Amino acid sequence: MNRRLGLGVKNGAVVFVLVVFAVSTLAPLLWMIFTSFKPLQDVEGGAIVPKSWHKENYSAVFQQVPFARYYMNSVFIAAWVTFLTCLTSAMGAFAFSRLEWKGRDALFRLYLATMMIPGVVTMIPNYTLMVKLHLLDSYTGLIVPSAFGAFGTFLLRQFMLTIPKALDEAATIDGAGYWNVFLDVVLPLARPGLIALAIFTFLGNYGSFYWPLILIKSESLRTLPVGMMYFDTTYGRQTNLLMAASVMSLLPPILLFLIGQKHLIKGIAFGAVKG
Amino acid sequence: MKANRSQFKAAIAFLAPNFLGFLLFTAGPVLFSLGASFTNTNLQQTLPLRFNGIANYSELVRDKAFWLYLVNTLYMMLGLPFAMFGSLWLAVLLNRKLRGISIFRTLLYLPSFASGVAIMILWKALYNPDFGPINETLRHVFSVLNVHADTPQWLQSTHNMVGLDVEKVGLTPKQFGLGARDALILMGVWIAIGGNNMLLYLAALTNVPEELLEAAQLDGASSWRCFVSVTWPQLAPTTFFILVMSIIGGLQGGFETARVMTTGGPAGTTTTLAYFIYSLAFEQFRIGYASAVAWVLFAFVFVATLVNWRFGNRAANEM
């Protein structure tokens, strides 16, 4: 009885601390949402919760900047990069995990080694390369250099290593070629890894800032992060509209997170533990 | 033998797109960048391309800005232990079977998940010294407590918690206080505390053997004692991994916040090495010098990685 009571108090303390953490986590986000519905004169000072809800702030964002265009660019680029990364990574991972060939492990170690190189080291030559190829300010330049990742290859290889080899052998005896083994045996079983990689890649590129910032010159190509930054520097005083834009840009990743939470958490644990 | 050859052919086919991308956008650029760091390459001026040996590197050693920005980078990493222990604390709290506890996990994970330009624009507004909600709250608290104090100028101030000088590497009492760097540290802790590191700790906590904890409890150990003597040593490999990864990340950090929130200011106090490289390469187009700074940054990261390789497994085995 006593023990139970003690546990109850302890759990109460735990929940209390968690609530404090949750409130400090949520407070800035709530302020963002409330502010996005306020008229400009109520942003500075005044009540935290809006007196009247100005939904028109959201449509005003679309009138001030080509926000729909930013959205489309971000989603278009992130979707292409995700598709290409998953394809090249899965194929590469297949070669690194299911096929036996000379130099395989040495090359894989080289891939791993490049993962510790800071992004800025390769960013500068890649930029110069885009200048030489006349790919500055183009979708191709925004998509293609990001479509190959050592990380994705690594993650999927680790995943594929856990799939029993006997399955490939059975399929090979049944007369399946490597391409069929890849498509019909390995890929379906590697699906959880692929989903995690797809979500990581999509989100990473949806929020990607550095590469689009240096590559994009014209407004019609701006992605959400780049467009939002210019929105902030040009219309910095319209805090309510900025917050409306922030809320809108955060909605897709939050939705994706809520849908894919289970896969993501597995993927994070997998990447770190096996790494 | 025949099977081997067909496997080799298949491997080439499967690896080709991946490997081409790797050569073109990773391996090639790494070599190019190393080469460029020994030249005077500049995208703007059409100087004759010249190999100038270690000139960039010796310029860097003499460059006062480099040392100041290195200090900034290190200073901004002061938030790492707070974020790490915060993550651990949260993970310990979340590691129990209470109804609805996963809702907390989801909520606390949100900032790190949503982090990016939108969140930085939000914090820029929160930190506004005149009408941002943080200073408004502080003013309210001050008036309730009847304290007469100025609220911090946050992103507009060069002040910092240890009194780093603005002009040179050193300390001065004049700079003591809260300023832009501290604001960025605080935001960083808010973003990171419920993020991936907490998930890693949560996963590690489920691997702590139940018998060990029960044995300690039977011996009459308090829950704090159990944590210090049983749980904490078991978490050592995870802590080590998180620490090294955070240091590696911290050394390369600070670009986005500087570009979006402060443009590296005030007076260069939020310029980290990453932002320094950006501004050298893409604002001044001094590709050669920027590459040299990038390779020095790489050297720091490499040392941290070596420490991880050398001691990471040992820490895991000894504990």
Residues B238 and B204 sit within 8 Å (Cβ to Cβ): yes
| C-beta atoms of A22 and B104 within 8 A | yes
pLDDT for position B317 = 44
Could you give the dihedral angle defined by the CA atoms of residues A225, B115, A144 and B24, in that order, rounded to the nearest 10 degrees? 120
In angstroms, the CA A266 to CA A190 distance is 13
pLDDT for position B218 = 87
Helices (H), A2-144: 2-36, 56-64, 67-97, 104-114, 119-132, 139-143
pLDDT digits (tens, 9 = 90+) for A123-160: 999 999 999 999 999 999 999 999 988 899 998 998 89
pLDDT for position A157 = 92
CATH number of the domain where residue B169 is located:
1.10.3720.10
Determine, yes or no, domain membership for A44.
Answer: no
Residues A205 and A90 sit within 8 Å (Cβ to Cβ): no
DSSP string for residues in B24-55: IIIIHHHHHHHHHTTB---SSS-PPP-B-TTH
| Among chain A residues, CA nearest to B260 | A229
Please check the confidence at residue A1 and state whether its pLDDT lies above 50.
no
b (16+ CB within 10 A) / e for B26-63: bbebbebbbebbbbbbbbeeeeeeeeeeebbeeebeee
Determine, yes or no, domain membership for A192.
Answer: yes
Closest approach of chain B CAs to the CA of A2, in angstroms? 16
Closest approach of chain A CAs to the CA of B171, in angstroms? 30
Angle, CA A155 vertex, CA A157 and CA B192 arms, to 5°: 170
- Here the contacts of B306-309 (C-beta below 8 Å, separation 24 or greater) are B307/B244, B308/B240, B308/B241, B308/B244
In angstroms, the CA B196 to CA B185 distance is 18
First to last CA, chain B: 46
Residue A229 pLDDT grade (very low, low, confident, very high; cuts 50, 70, 90): very high
pLDDT digits (tens, 9 = 90+) for A53-79: 999 999 999 999 999 999 999 999 999
Closest approach of chain B CAs to the CA of A92, in angstroms? 5
Query: Average pLDDT over chain A, rounded to whole?
Result: 89
In angstroms, the CA A98 to CA B15 distance is 12
Among A44, A87, A210, select the one facing B131 at the smallest CB separation. A44
Q: Number of structural domains, chain B?
A: 1
SS3 assignment, position B153: coil
What percentage of chain A reaches a pLDDT higher than 70?
A: 93
Mean pLDDT of the A85-110 span: 94
Q: Does B23 touch chain A (CB under 8 A)?
A: no
Determine, yes or no, domain membership for A139.
Answer: yes
B residues 100..159 contacting A (CB < 8 A): 101, 104, 106-111, 113-119, 121-126, 130-131, 133, 136
Mean pLDDT of the A85-106 span: 94
Determine, yes or no, domain membership for A34.
Answer: no
Residues A29 and A247 sit within 8 Å (Cβ to Cβ): no
Closest approach of chain A CAs to the CA of B159, in angstroms? 24
| C-beta atoms of B104 and A18 within 8 A | yes
Please check the confidence at residue A184 and state whether its pLDDT lies above 60.
yes
The answer for residues whose C-beta is within 8 angstroms of residue B197's C-beta and 6 or more apart is B83, B84, B87, B242, B246
Determine, yes or no, domain membership for A261.
Answer: yes
Residue A275 pLDDT grade (very low, low, confident, very high; cuts 50, 70, 90): very low
| Among chain B residues, CA nearest to A123 | B29
Q: Does B14 touch chain A (CB under 8 A)?
A: yes
| C-beta atoms of B25 and A92 within 8 A | no
Determine, yes or no, domain membership for B181.
Answer: yes
Q: Number of structural domains, chain A?
A: 1
B contacts of A265 (beta carbons < 8 Å): 199
Angle, CA B44 vertex, CA A143 and CA B35 arms, to 5°: 70
SS3 assignment, position B285: coil
In angstroms, the CA A178 to CA A168 distance is 9
Determine, yes or no, domain membership for A51.
Answer: no
* Segments forming the whole domain that contains residue B238: 42-318
pLDDT digits (tens, 9 = 90+) for A9-51: 778 888 899 999 999 999 999 999 999 999 988 888 778 889 8
Among B15, B26, B96, select the one facing A95 at the smallest CB separation. B15
Size of interface A-B (CB pairs under 8 A): 234
In angstroms, the CA B48 to CA B40 distance is 9
Mutate to test the interface with A, among B122, B271, B297, B303 (most CBs of A within 10 A): B122
* Segments forming the whole domain that contains residue A148: 58-274
For B33, the token pair is 């960048």
Determine, yes or no, domain membership for A235.
Answer: yes
Determine, yes or no, domain membership for B183.
Answer: yes
Determine, yes or no, domain membership for A30.
Answer: no
ipTM score of complex:
0.90
| C-beta atoms of B116 and A209 within 8 A | yes
CATH number of the domain where residue A179 is located:
1.10.3720.10
| C-beta atoms of B287 and A124 within 8 A | yes
Mutate to test the interface with B, among A120, A199, A262 (most CBs of B within 10 A): A120
CA distances from A234 to A65, A229, B43, B267, B288 (A): 10, 9, 28, 22, 32
pLDDT tens, position by position, for chain B (319 residues)? Answer: 456 788 889 999 999 999 999 999 999 999 999 999 999 888 876 677 788 889 999 999 999 999 999 999 999 999 999 999 999 999 999 988 788 888 888 889 888 887 799 999 999 999 999 889 999 999 999 999 998 888 999 999 999 999 899 888 989 999 999 999 999 999 999 999 998 899 899 989 988 888 888 888 888 888 888 899 899 999 998 999 899 889 999 999 999 999 999 999 899 999 999 999 999 999 999 999 999 999 999 999 999 888 887 877 654 444 3
SS3 assignment, position B191: helix
| C-beta atoms of A21 and B297 within 8 A | no
pLDDT for position B32 = 94
pLDDT for position B53 = 87
In angstroms, the CA A98 to CA A42 distance is 62
In angstroms, the CA A63 to CA A70 distance is 13
Q: How many other C-beta atoms can be found within 10 angstroms of the C-beta atom of residue A226?
A: 24
Q: Does B36 touch chain A (CB under 8 A)?
A: yes
Among A24, A228, A254, select the one facing B114 at the smallest CB separation. A254
Determine, yes or no, domain membership for B130.
Answer: yes
pLDDT for position A88 = 96
